[in-house]
Each structure stands twice: as structure tokens, then as C-alpha cells.
Amino acid sequence: MNALRRHRALSRIWASEPGLKGWFTTVNHTDLGRMFLFVATVFFVIGGILAMLIRAQLASPRSAFLGPDHYNQIFTMHGTIMMFLFAIPFFEGLAVYLLPKMLGTRDLAFPRLTAYGFWCYVFGGAMMIFALLAGIAPDSGWFMYPPLSSTIGAPGINSDFWLIGITFVEISAISAAVEITVTVLRYRAPGMKLSQMPIFAWYALVTAVMILTGFPPLILGSILLELERAFGLPFFQVAQGGDALLWQHLFWLFGHPEVYIIFLPAAGAISTILPVMARTTLMGYGWIVASAVSLGVLSFGLWVHHMFTTGIPHMGLAFFSAASTLVAVPTAVQIFAWIGTLWKGRPVMHLPMLWLLAFFATFVIGGLTGVMVAIVPFDWQAHDTYFIVAHLHYVLIGGFVFPMIAALYYWMPHFTGRRTYFKLGHAAFWLVVPGFHGTFLALHWAGLLGMRRRIDSFAPGQGWEAINIIASISSFVMAIGFALVLIDVVVNAVVAVRGSRDPWGAGTLDWAMPTPAAPYNFASLAHVTSRDPLHEDPDLPVRLARGEGYLGDPTRGRRETLSLDIASGTPRYMVVFPGNSALPMLMSAVTGLFFLGMLIKAYWLVPISAIGVIACALVWVWGLGRSTTEGALPVGRGLSLVPATEVPDPPGWWGSVFLLLANGTFFGSLLFGYAFLFTIAPNWPPPSYLEPGALPLILVLMGAGLVFFGSRLGALMGAGAALAGLVLIAGTSLPVLSQSPDPTRHAYDATVWVFVGYGLLHCLVSLLMWSVVAARRLSGHSAQTTLGAMRVARLWSDYTLLVALLSAAAIGLPGVLT
Amino acid sequence: MHPAGPAAAVIAQLWWVLLAGATAIFLFVAALIALAWRRPPGETQERRFVVWLGLVFPMTVLAALLAYGLVVGERLLPRATPDLVRVAAEARQWDWRFGYEDAPGRETENVLHIPAGRPVDVAITSVDVVHGFWVPRLAGKLDAMPGHVNVLRLEADAPGRYEGLGSEFNGAGYRDHRFTVIAHDEAGWQSFLQGETP
């Protein structure tokens, strides 16, 4: 079989459906990556237009262009869109597109989940844009501090759009993060050790784990606030034992890691592009990995630095001030390693390099002002002024947007298969970068002169006029520059001439394929033994196309790839990916109905759509099973491996592990919130605690025992025992709730209801999973091919019983102790 | 920044130190990058960049800075002194009400009276949403949290009127959520406490 026939055969197997239908049924990471990037760019344009409105309003004093009601919606949505609908999804898109290619594999670990996440993002984003156009957008600031964002300060539907829409969009962040984690750990080119991964994969891995542990506090906060708004559960109302500070803790527990979730992917792109531009290798690979990991860890210790002015005790301030300055150290390691890389090589001033220089100039200033505001006394003056606005734009635009434009120009030949041709990009650069500094350098000073954030206009005579008009004019110059970048991309994609493979002379596997990429990426998978396989073996692309790697034989007619041992990169089993399907889009549409029902308070729609989601999920899962075993099959280069359906740790098990990491963080945040209210909030204790009786205690312990031991008895016996145990656990909610009948009475009662609701949800999920396992066995699937599914179900039921025991202890203990 | 009290003055001084240091570091980094193009390619030591510049240099600078910040922070703390004056600030949408320990029952709206030259502790709280209490020329800012009382120490060097602001976004009336601080000389303060409106 020659290379062309192999290409045709593989394309038939892997291609998305032709025409319009293909957009809705594709599960291919190249397509979905491009779609993610496109939609994120659309949101960037929308957010940018809002920014222009803000600068138009503030160009002159006493502006009558916008009133406070519109202005408040506009700045809230500007922040919300740029953070949640542009920055994070843009990273997801880039990672979805690039990671499998850089790692030398054929797709992400869960192709249908990629599509599901994408459509959740599109539908959730559309909700937000609808609110904006209808003039009912959130208007309490992008961090939505209650009580202002709750029913007291915002009785309309505005805040609900934020809480429900953003939570819906976060599904895409969580699913992309699970996917990226499992892909980086288990789906690489055979032989590629962890220490040989492209540096971008390390950054993506750290970012993904941070999303899994950083987003759950926000999701919890949003759910609690929505419960307060919709049903009066008083989590943030001080009179009934809630506390507005709880929201600030949950929000910044997410919000500070979020800054690094945005910065790290950009740093990954820099670490990838810079050595290529300097025609050398990255200096200090190990140091850079270590500093990315430590940034990830440290960033979770910083959240309080957004709350220096909330009256935190002085010792606490000192600790968090120290942690906040400490985080500059790993950043400095990376910056100086990059400069060292430039010294080591012979840098060339291509367009991506130019944008990287803009990154250095901007981000270093942003980092230095960041150190300034980490010093508590200075923050007491600068907090909530334009100094902070300027600082955060230096960090986010300098630390994310500029490197992403460098990445765009670096990978554009890959996206389009064409040579970048025109000089428009240079003109754009000279508009954006001076325009940016003209805007935000000036605004630092406005902040020091006392100009507060979020005021909708200002009075003349305070010395702010000149600064603001300079900032406004510069910001429009910057906007024209961004528009030129977009025009440049479109023009290049449409009319530029075909380019060569690997135009920059890079060494990573993403350039070891013809561009634009074929749907299967690699005609056969490389065996990798170094960090820059293309430098090691320049003929590698040709040999892969000839089918000399793994899985070069398309005769089985399925989408096949390999899964590896995490550390060593030894191939472990073969994975068969599902084909094109409209199910992900359908399921996210039904998920959307669930959120819509909550939003417009059409509560009848909520259970109906929940059942719809369950039905979709069952169809989804059922299709993964296989009734008979195949045994070891040849995968090329003399190796034979069993398929994933016959191993104890299939991809779904790994995905569950990381999803449970996020889920456990959610539950941990709930415990934290409860402990916080218990110890800090005024108006505690509640009128009464639960009086723990013997009956519920016995029920929970019996249930837990049945689930734990029963689920280890094999598929059918185990399923029966687990089902019975889960019903017992669920049953304890009745005596608990009968003692705490009114969740609106006190934050304690509200918390009890949330614990019970969370536990019941997990009982339901575990019940469904064990039912699928039992149904598979009963319909004749072999024990071997249900083993993986059974271990997934056991993982979830074990988690459920753990949650049940911890919840019981948490809500019962105060009653025992008092 | 035109500081008019000891708290605001040390913060202003802190700012000038920070600005000078930041400018020096920025120029240093920019020069390092520019040099990459100016020098002949050759051996570059990883240790010099990663360990000395990446680890040792920022840790030294940051440790010094942090110590300085903590010392300044200590000076701003509300400590017990004999001539202390206590007032209370209560924020609401979109108003400020002030009470006085030395004149029980006296309440002023949107005007806070204090004596000049004496340390004042403002006990700040809110009755509805989160607000921020900020008199830029006298001290840093502190939030007004419903259900909590936060104490801010401020002091005006000289008698006069100082502008105060709500500094945490609080809805439609945010822009005009202001108040005035009037710092009296000793005689003016006494007559204010006696119930005369100056």
C-alpha cells in the first residue's frame, strides 16, 4: 500500500461528514479546535467592542453617552466575556487543536466529549449575548459580589444570566480539562517519556489540573448564590447566618488560579516558539517544568490578596502578602530562562518573535506592578482604582493576548497550509503595541490620582481629563490594530500560496505532517526517543506517511490509536475511537434546556430535561461497550496489544479519576464554606442543629458497607448489592430533611439541604452506572469486556459513600457536640 | 497623590520606592534582551540565568521589599494610644452615616467630623451590600461588610476638608457615593461635640 492509498483509506475512516452536517456531527479535534478558536475570537471581538464603548464614555468628563444602567452592564460583560468566553476557550481551542499533533497521536482521549464541551460553550455563550442584546445583562461587576448581585441589590434576571450562563459554559472548561489531562498522560507517541514531551504539553497538563481544582469553587459559589436568589437559601445573607465574605473566598479561590490558568498556556506557547525563533533549544527544560508546576501550586495560596481591604486579620495579611510576592519567583525563573535561550541561540526577527518582544516589555511591567499591589499598604491605596485596571490589562493582554498572537502567526502555516505572505501583520503590530501602552500606562496614573474603577463618568477639574482622552484615543488605535490582525489572518487563509511543511524548522511532531492536517493526523504513529524528533530524524514525516510507524494498516476500518504507560511511554493497549455523531450536540442542547428552565423559572422543564440528559448519556455509554473479546491484535512494528474494552483501566476510568478530582474539590469547597460560616459568620449558631438519631446513622453505615463490599463481588452480585446500599443511603435523607424542613430559615439548614441534594445526585449517578453494568452482563457481554465499566461504576459508588459519610459527619456533629 | 496624613504619607513614600525599583528592574531586563541580538553566539551558562537571575535575584529583592511593606503595614495598624478618637461609619446605598463615641446619639449624614492631629479609628460596617470606605488623602481603603465591623486608623495633619469615596462598586449610584471629612482644630472639635454645627 503506497502513501497516497493509505491516505485515502485513513481519510475515509476518520473524516467528518461533508457539508453543513459535518459541522454538527464532527468529533475530530482538528475541526473542533478550529471551531473553538473561531468562536473565541468572535467573543474577543464582542468584548473588544464593549471596551470601545467604555473608552468612548470615559473620553471626556460628564459624558452623556451611556447612563449608569447601561454602563454597568457593559463593564460587567466586558470582564465576563474576556475571562470566561474568550481567554479560557481560546486556550482550550489551541490545546484541542495542537496537543494530539504535538504528542504524535491521532485525537484527544474523548472525542465526543470535545464536541459536547464545545456546544455547551456555544449555547452558554449565546445565552450571555442574548442578555446583552436584550439589555438585561448582569450589571454587578464581573466578580458578582453579593449582596449586590443577590436579590437585595439585583432583583431582576440580570444576575441569573451570569450565574446560570457561566456555570453552563464551565462544563466545557471541565470537560476540556479532563480530556487534556488524560490525553497528555496516556495518549502520546509510543516511546515518548514524560520528560520528552514538548514543553507545551507540560504547561497544558498543569493548566488542565488547575482548571479541575480551580473552577469547582466558582461553580459551587454560583450554585449557592443562584439557590439564594431563586429559592431564598440564605448563604450570603448575614441576618440568617450567611456571609457575603463567603462568596469572596469562593470566587477568589477560583479567581486567582484563573490568572495563571490564563498565563500558563501563553507561557507554554512562548516556551515552544522562542527556541525555534532563536534557532536553538529551550534553556532549562527541567527548571521550566518545575516552575510551571510550582506556579500552579502557589497560585492556590494567593486568593486572599484580592481581599486585602476586607478586614482580614493582620497575620493573615502578612502570610498572603508573602505568598503573593513569592509567586514572582517561578515567573522570574521562566523569564530569565527565556532570555537565556535568546542568548544561547541566534534569534531572528520574524513576526512571532516581534510579538514575543511585545510580551516581554508588557508582561514584565505587569509583573512589577503586581509585586507593588502585593505589598499590603500600597494595595490599600491602589485597590479598586484604575491602577488595578491598568495592572490587570498589562498582565492579561501582555501575558496572554500578545503571546497568543505570536502563536497565531507561528501556527498559521499549520492551520492553513499556506505561507504567511503579507506584511499587514507588521502594520498591525505597530498599531496594537504602542496603542496598548498609550492606553494603560496612562491609566496607572489616573488610578494614583484617585480615579476609581467602574464609575460611569467623572467630574472635570480632578486632573483626569488629559489622561482619559489619551487613553481613549490610544485604545482606538489598538482596536484598529487588532482588526488588522484579523483581516491579515483571513486574507492569508484565503489567498496566500501553498507553503512547505515545517516552515520554521521546528523539531516537534506537530510539523511532521502535511498541512492543513489530515483528519487522522499521522498515517502511522512515530516511535519517539527524544524531545525534538524532527531534528533527530528529518525524514520522519515521509516514513510516517509510508506507514512505517504504529497503526499504519487501515484494514480494520476503525479509528484506532494507542494508549501508553504514563511515565515510560510504553504502549499498553489500543483504543478504538467512536465515529461522527450528532449526540454530543443534542446532549448539550438538552443540557441547555435544563439551564434555561432554571433561568426563566420554568421549573417543569428542569426534571424533563434532566431525564433527557440521562437518556442521552445512556445512549452515549452503551455504544462504548463490546460484547465479545478480540484478544491481542497487531498494531505494527511487530507489537500486538489488546483493545481498551478488555483492560481494567480503560480511558473512561482515567477520565473518571480526574472528573472526581474536580468533583472532590467541589465537595471540599462545600465543606470549607460550611466551616467558614460556622466559625466566622455572625448570627450563628442556628435556632437548632439536627439531632442525630440512631436510625439514620445505622442506615448510612449499612448502606455504605453494602456499597463498599458488595461492589467488590463481581458484576451482577456487586450491582445488586450496590443498588441496595445506594437506596439505603438515599433513604437517610428523609429523616434528615424532616428535622430541617425549612432551608430558608438559616444558612445551616440551607447547607444541610445542599449536602443532601449533592448526596442524592451522586446516589442517582452511581445507581445509573451500576444499572448499565448489570444490563451489559444480562445482555450477554463477557466478564472481560464489562470489567472496565464495572471499575468505573465502583469508583463512583465508592466516592458516593465517602461523600455520604463525610456529609453525615459534617451536618450531624454540631448536634452531638452541643 | 497629595498625602495629608501620616498614613497616606508613608504609602506615598512606599510608592516612590516601588516605582524606582520597578523602573530599574525593567531597564535591566530590557537591556538583557537587547544584548541577545548584540552578542556573538557562544556558550551561555544555564546556571547564570536560571539560578542566579531567576531564583537568587528575585528572592533577594522580594525579601527586602516584603520586610519594608510589613514595617509600613505595622505603622498603619490601629494601636492603642491615649488620645484616640473613635467614630463609626455605616454605609448604605447610597449614603454614609457617622456616629461618635464622644457624642453619643449624635449622627451626621455624608459628613464625617474628626479632630486634626489626633489618631482616629473608624469602625466601618454596612447595612445592605458591600461598600468601601476611602479617604484618599488620609489613609488607605477598607471595605464595609454587612454583619462585620472593620476598623481603619486615619489621621489628618491639619484642619481642612477632605473628600471621601465609596470604593467598592455598589450599583447604580456608585459614582456619587461620596462623603466629606471635616478635620477640626481642637476648639472646633469641642464645639462640634457640644452639638454646634460649624
Total domains in the fold of chain B: 2
Put simply, whether B70 touches A (Cβ < 8 Å) is yes
Is there a contact between A369 and B10 if contact means CB atoms under 8 Å apart?
Answer: no
Return the C-alpha cell found at A391.
495592572
Is there a contact between B129 and A148 if contact means CB atoms under 8 Å apart?
Answer: yes
Same domain for B93 and B71, yes or no, is no
Same domain for A450 and A412, yes or no, is yes
Report CA A236 to chain centroid distance, whole Å: 26
Mean of pLDDT over chain A: 93
Same domain for B116 and B168, yes or no, is yes
B53 contacts on A by Cβ (under 8 Å): 332, 336, 339
Average pLDDT over residues A207-230: 97
For residue A138, is pLDDT > 80? yes
Is residue A685 a part of any domain in this protein?
yes
Is residue B42 a part of any domain in this protein?
yes
Same domain for A102 and A234, yes or no, is yes
pLDDT category of residue B197 using cuts at 50, 70 and 90: low
ipTM of the complex: 0.93
Same domain for B114 and B35, yes or no, is no
Is residue B35 a part of any domain in this protein?
yes
Average pLDDT over residues A34-44: 97
Is there a contact between B73 and A283 if contact means CB atoms under 8 Å apart?
Answer: no
Q: Is A767 exposed, middle or buried (0-12, 13-18, 19+ CB in 10 A)?
A: buried
Put simply, whether B38 touches A (Cβ < 8 Å) is no
pLDDT score at B143: 93
Q: Of A495, A515, A535, which marks where a domain is finished?
A: A495
For residue A191, is pLDDT > 60? yes
Same domain for B189 and B108, yes or no, is yes
* Side chain identity at residue A104, one-letter code: G
Asked which of A255-259, A260-264, B87-91 is least confident by mean pLDDT, the reply is: A255-259
B139 contacts on A by Cβ (under 8 Å): 380
What are the pLDDT digits (tens) for A355-405? Answer: 999 999 999 999 999 888 888 788 888 888 999 999 999 999 999 999 999
Domain that holds residue B28: 6-76
Same domain for A693 and A597, yes or no, is no
- How far, in Å, CA of A121 to CA of A588, rounded? 9
Q: Of A495, A528, A554, which marks where a domain is finished?
A: A495
Average pLDDT over residues A297-305: 85
Is there a contact between B10 and A329 if contact means CB atoms under 8 Å apart?
Answer: no
Domain that holds residue A618: 583-623
pLDDT score at A570: 95
Q: Of B49, B76, B103, which marks where a domain is finished?
A: B76
For residue A406, is pLDDT > 60? yes
Concatenating the DSSP letter of every residue in A609-640 gives HHHHHHHHHHHHHHTT--SS----EEEETTEE
Same domain for B114 and B142, yes or no, is yes
Among B168, B177, B178, B179, which would you mutate to test the A interface (most chain A Cβ atoms within 10 Å of its Cβ)? B168
Comparing CB atoms, the residue among A365, A378, A683 nearest residue B15 is A378
Total domains in the fold of chain A: 3
Is residue B165 a part of any domain in this protein?
yes
Among A342, A356, A365, which would you mutate to test the B interface (most chain B Cβ atoms within 10 Å of its Cβ)? A342
B55/chain A closest Cα distance in angstroms: 6
Same domain for B72 and B89, yes or no, is no
Average pLDDT over residues A449-460: 91
- How far, in Å, CA of A657 to CA of A664, rounded? 10
C-alpha distances out from residue A540 to A74, A317, A494, A533, Å = 52, 55, 29, 8
Q: Which residue of A has its CA nearest to B11?
A: A378
What are the pLDDT digits (tens) for A720-764? Answer: 999 999 999 999 999 899 999 999 999 999 999 999 999 999 999
Return the C-alpha cell found at A367.
509583573
* Cα torsion angle, A137, A140, A141, A142, sign: negative
pLDDT category of residue B3 using cuts at 50, 70 and 90: confident
φ/ψ of A736, rounded to 5, equals -65, -50
C-alpha distances out from residue A21 to A18, A334, A580, Å = 7, 45, 10
pLDDT score at A564: 95
Same domain for A464 and A593, yes or no, is no
**Cβ pair B180, B165 in contact under 8 A:** no
Instruction: Assign residue B150 the CATH number of its domain.
Output: 2.60.40.420
* Cα torsion angle, A286, A289, A293, A294, sign: positive
Is residue B120 a part of any domain in this protein?
yes
Same domain for A176 and A298, yes or no, is yes
pLDDT category of residue A310 using cuts at 50, 70 and 90: confident
Same domain for B117 and B189, yes or no, is yes
